[in-house]
Chain A
Amino acid sequence: MNSDRMLELKFSLLRGAVAILISIGVAAIFIFTVSETPWDALYQLIISPFGNTRQMWNILERMIPLLFTGLAVCVMFSAKQFNLAAEGCVMLGAFVSALIAIYVSMPMGIHPVVAILAGAIVCGLVMLIPSLLQTKFGASVLVSTLMLNFIIQFVIQYFLVHVFADRTQGALMTERFQPTAIIPFIRFETNWGLAVGLVMVVLVSLFLYRTRWGYAIRMVGLNKEFSAYSGMKVAGVIILCQVIGGLLAGMGGGIEMLGYFDRFRWRLLPGYGWNGITIAILAKNNPILVPFAAFFLAYLSRGSMNMAIRTDMPFEMLEIIQAAIFLFFAAEHLMAKTRQKMVVKKAKQEMQSAAKGVDETC
């Protein structure tokens, strides 16, 4: 039994590596057909993020929002709820946190905590809308959350333009955050949100794998009918996982805003929600693996940025790599033949050793 699991693990690692190699290979093909300095572009994409300490800390910095959206999507996808509102929640959480950072005065230390929690709670409450519409009225959460993202974006735009804009500035932005609300840096531009994110990884893992509610969420994801039949409150579980997802994504938005910016100036959805889905796929919905997946994506993002700055390749290359990761990493039947061979080989070995055992006893 245990060796079967080892085999599965070995195979999924192998398949994951192949999927990532294919994705980077796709990137390499584009680089070699398009770029005039392909080797430099490839160097910038793959090696330069590890070039020096500052670059490495930059990867960690880019990881912070991804940790939160990755966790949020993990929780929601664990219950097979295709809620795509993490994107909107990041923007909303960031906006609410920004308002508290500007207009409420609080002592150092408490200010960012209150601001971020407020953003998270608002997002958790907003997630009640799609989840209740789904459980009460049967409206597809996929469609309603896609719509919700646009609604959040336009409503924030309205408040930004008509209520909270700093008229002394040329571009559209709020006033500056109070210095008490800024999240302090660990080193370079990397703030303490990273530590909060890692703590959340542990908490969410414990929640999903060591509590009754976490168990219920995973069971609903595996088999909704069976869960209902065995007496679980399926509707409650569906609502719970989405509210938690909203809390996490909103928290990520607040931390990104107070850790990286000094004014709120997002006019469009920031895109971290979609990255969160990539991460959940890479981590196979397992929160413990989220930091690794987030690190990998942050590394690719940093590499793409270096490549776009220093060579003739555009930054959007990242989206092509991400789409390829999406398609290949989530491909359940990729290398099915190899898996078959591995299983057959192991079975043969076991049969042989069993036969030997029989021979010896005779």
Chain B
Amino acid sequence: MLAQIMSSVFTTVFLASVLRITTPILFAALASAVSERAGVANIGLEGIMMIAALSGVLFSAWSQSAFIGVLGAGMMGVLVGLMMGFFYLKLGTDIILAGIAVNMLGGGGTIFFLFILTGQRGTSAAVLSRMVPALEMPFLEGIPVLGAFARQSILTYVALLCVLLVYILFYKTPLGLKIRAVGENPNAASSVGMSVNKVSYIALGLSGFLAGLGGAYMSMFAAMGFSANMVAGRGFIALAAQTMGRGEPLGTLLSSLLFGAADALSNHMQGTGLPSQLVATLPYLITIIGLSMYTWRTIKKAKRIRKRHSEPANSGEES
């Protein structure tokens, strides 16, 4: 059985499914990175993705354009992000609690809005929404690794592009410098004249936009339309991916790929006779283990560095 699993892992089919599954996680993880680097822990990603998934369906059905649908999903993400910012920065609501509230809106609220806007219960099957097209590149099909890219959604490329864009934002633009400064030390940032609130608002808005694209991918490519609880914890997994990637764009990409691979593996193993419910726990289990191992390593490294720094000082005292 292990051989069967191993042989199915190293195929372009598997690689393609990793890319497909990673895309929404990557969007949300980048969203998490942008807000985290500005010092705002955005745990409402799950809810934003759900709200955006519904918005994407509704906007695309209304305009009969996939592009408007995706844009609408992104803008709705921005709105929710700014709303969180308003409560956090203006009204002093704890950001974690604001995030949980957004997740509630994403869970029950989306069902509510779907019902009052379309009369549908739980799924948008009867709503004629548009799908995001795949970028067909049949000439890649036979090539080993590149073959995985033959039929990916346009949004997958957008996500990969976003990794680069977020990198440029963080390290090559004045705004990125401000975001990092505010995240590292808001007092220092405000003492040199930066508006901490403005930077936090921008970061939350951007974060909402990215998570919104992830939501659009869920309902406009991964599935045909919206259904209740369709994001199924991806927003939370993205949070873990960002933590493991230390909020760095490249690290976030790699850890998102790791979680995507775990999820894809669990899908592939369902054909091997292993109980599907236990296999379904794999991505969550790997998240916990990966996160613990990663943070443990950082703590150990920090201790080692402290030791190294303190040793010469100690020997100096002795002599």
CB contact under 8 A between A155 and B277, given known A138-B295, A139-B288, A140-B291: yes
Q: Which residue of B43, B109, B277, B288 is within 8 Å of A320 (Cβ)?
A: B109
Contacting B at CB under 8 A, from A281-332, are 281, 314, 316-320, 322-324, 326-328, 330-332
- Quick check: B115 and A143 within 8 Å, CB to CB? no
- Quick check: B275 and A162 within 8 Å, CB to CB? yes
Q: Quick check: is A198 within 8 A (CB to CB) of the other chain?
A: no
Q: Which residue of A146, A155, A334 is within 8 Å of B91 (Cβ)?
A: A334
In the complex the two chains form, what is the Cα distance from A320 to B113 in whole Å? 10
- Quick check: A327 and B93 within 8 Å, CB to CB? yes
Q: Quick check: is B108 within 8 A (CB to CB) of the other chain?
A: yes
- Quick check: A316 and B108 within 8 Å, CB to CB? yes
Which residues does chain B contribute within 8 Å of A140, judged by CB atoms? 243, 291, 295
> Per-residue CB proximity of A67-101 to B under 8 Å, as 1/0?
00000000000000010100000000000000000
Q: Quick check: is B63 within 8 A (CB to CB) of the other chain?
A: no
In the complex the two chains form, what is the Cα distance from A155 to B97 in whole Å? 28
- Quick check: B112 and A317 within 8 Å, CB to CB? yes
- Quick check: A320 and B236 within 8 Å, CB to CB? no
- Quick check: B299 and A137 within 8 Å, CB to CB? yes
Q: Quick check: is B285 within 8 A (CB to CB) of the other chain?
A: yes
In the complex the two chains form, what is the Cα distance from A254 to B180 in whole Å? 47
Q: Name the distance in Å between A240's Cβ and chain B's nearest Cβ.
A: 20
Which residues does chain A contribute within 8 Å of B115, judged by CB atoms? 314, 316
- In chain A, what residue has the closest Cβ to B97? A330
- In chain A, what residue has the closest Cβ to B115? A314
- Quick check: B108 and A144 within 8 Å, CB to CB? no
> Per-residue CB proximity of B171-196 to A under 8 Å, as 1/0?
00000000000000000000000000
In the complex the two chains form, what is the Cα distance from A281 to B281 in whole Å? 31
Which residues does chain B contribute within 8 Å of A322, judged by CB atoms? 101, 104, 108
Instruction: Count B interface residues, CB 8 Å.
Output: 45
Among B43, B104, B280, B295, chain A packs the most CB atoms within 10 A around the CB of B104
Q: Which residue of A147, A326, A336 is within 8 Å of B104 (Cβ)?
A: A326
Q: Which residue of A151, A324, A333 is within 8 Å of B92 (Cβ)?
A: A333
Q: Name the distance in Å between B45's Cβ and chain A's nearest Cβ.
A: 11
Q: Quick check: is B98 within 8 A (CB to CB) of the other chain?
A: yes
Instruction: Count A interface residues, CB 8 Å.
Output: 45
In the complex the two chains form, what is the Cα distance from A162 to B275 in whole Å? 8
CB contact under 8 A between A133 and B92, given known A157-B277, A314-B112, A316-B108: no
Q: Quick check: is B3 within 8 A (CB to CB) of the other chain?
A: no
In the complex the two chains form, what is the Cα distance from A333 to B197 in whole Å? 15
In the complex the two chains form, what is the Cα distance from A333 to B288 in whole Å? 35
Which residues does chain A contribute within 8 Å of B292, judged by CB atoms? 133, 137, 139, 144
Which residues does chain B contribute within 8 Å of A150, judged by CB atoms? 233, 281, 284
> Per-residue CB proximity of B89-107 to A under 8 Å, as 1/0?
0111110111011101101
Q: Quick check: is B87 within 8 A (CB to CB) of the other chain?
A: yes
Q: Which residue of B90, B104, B243 is within 8 Å of A319 (Cβ)?
A: B104
> Per-residue CB proximity of B225-265 to A under 8 Å, as 1/0?
00000000100110110010000000000000000000000
Q: Quick check: is A215 within 8 A (CB to CB) of the other chain?
A: no
In the complex the two chains form, what is the Cα distance from A146 to B237 in whole Å? 9
> Per-residue CB proximity of B108-151 to A under 8 Å, as 1/0?
11011001100001000000000000000000000000000000
Q: Quick check: is A154 within 8 A (CB to CB) of the other chain?
A: yes
CB contact under 8 A between A138 and B296, given known A34-B116, A314-B112, A316-B111: yes
- In chain B, what residue has the closest Cβ to A150? B284
- In chain B, what residue has the closest Cβ to A318? B108
Which residues does chain A contribute within 8 Å of B296, judged by CB atoms? 136-139
Q: Quick check: is A158 within 8 A (CB to CB) of the other chain?
A: yes
CB contact under 8 A between A158 and B277, given known A138-B296, A327-B98: yes
Q: Name the distance in Å between A291's Cβ and chain B's nearest Cβ.
A: 21
Which residues does chain A contribute within 8 Å of B107, judged by CB atoms? 319
Q: Quick check: is B11 within 8 A (CB to CB) of the other chain?
A: no
- Quick check: A277 and B91 within 8 Å, CB to CB? no
Q: Name the distance in Å between B96's Cβ and chain A's nearest Cβ.
A: 5
Q: Quick check: is B160 within 8 A (CB to CB) of the other chain?
A: no
In the complex the two chains form, what is the Cα distance from A154 to B280 in whole Å? 7
- Quick check: A332 and B96 within 8 Å, CB to CB? no
Q: Name the distance in Å between A197's Cβ and chain B's nearest Cβ.
A: 23
Q: Quick check: is A148 within 8 A (CB to CB) of the other chain?
A: yes
In the complex the two chains form, what is the Cα distance from A326 to B97 in whole Å? 7
CB contact under 8 A between A334 and B92, given known A147-B287, A154-B281, A320-B109: yes
Chain A interface (Cβ < 8 Å from any Cβ of B): 30, 34, 82, 84, 133, 136-140, 142-144, 146-148, 150-151, 154-155, 157-158, 161-162, 274, 277, 281, 314, 316-320, 322-324, 326-328, 330-334, 336
26 residue pairs of the A-B complex, CB under 8 angstroms, read A133-B288, A137-B299, A139-B296, A143-B240, A143-B288, A144-B292, A147-B236, A155-B277, A155-B281, A158-B278, A162-B275, A274-B100, A277-B100, A281-B97, A314-B115, A316-B108, A323-B102, A323-B104, A326-B93, A326-B98, A327-B101, A330-B98, A331-B87, A331-B91, A331-B93, A334-B92
3 shortest A-B CB distances, which residue pairs?
Answer: A319-B108, A332-B92, A333-B92
Chain B interface (Cβ < 8 Å from any Cβ of A): 43, 87, 90-94, 96-98, 100-102, 104-105, 107-109, 111-112, 115-116, 121, 233, 236-237, 239-240, 243, 275, 277-278, 280-281, 284-285, 287-288, 291-293, 295-296, 298-299
